[in-house]
Amino acid sequence: MTTPEFIIQALTRNREIFAQILTNLHPEQISWSPEPNKWSLLQVACHLRDEEREDFRQRTRMVLESPWRAISRHQSNRMGC
């Protein structure tokens, strides 16, 4: 069974991995995109930050407060699902 402690440790490791990857890069490296319609490292990092702030925390709070309640279609659409 996945415990809250396991999840917290995994998320902490992810933060450390991202910090190692993105630290000390030149602006050209961070903003480089392999193709016009592909995201750069900066865009990916910003997307992950936005999702964590605007979506993930809300969903986690909802599940922790009411684990038996399904997320309604309205709530899913509001969260970008």
User: How many secondary structure helices (H) and strands (E) does the chain include?
Assistant: 5, 0
Cα 37 from chain centre = 21
Prediction pTM value:
0.59
Q: What are phi and psi of 5, to 5 degrees?
A: -65, -40
Which pLDDT tens digit goes with each residue over 3-54?
878 888 888 888 888 888 889 999 999 999 999 999 999 999 899 888 878 7
Residue located via tokens 């995201």: 39
Task: Show Cβ contacts of residue 73 under 8 Å, excluding neighbours closer than 6 positions.
Answer: none
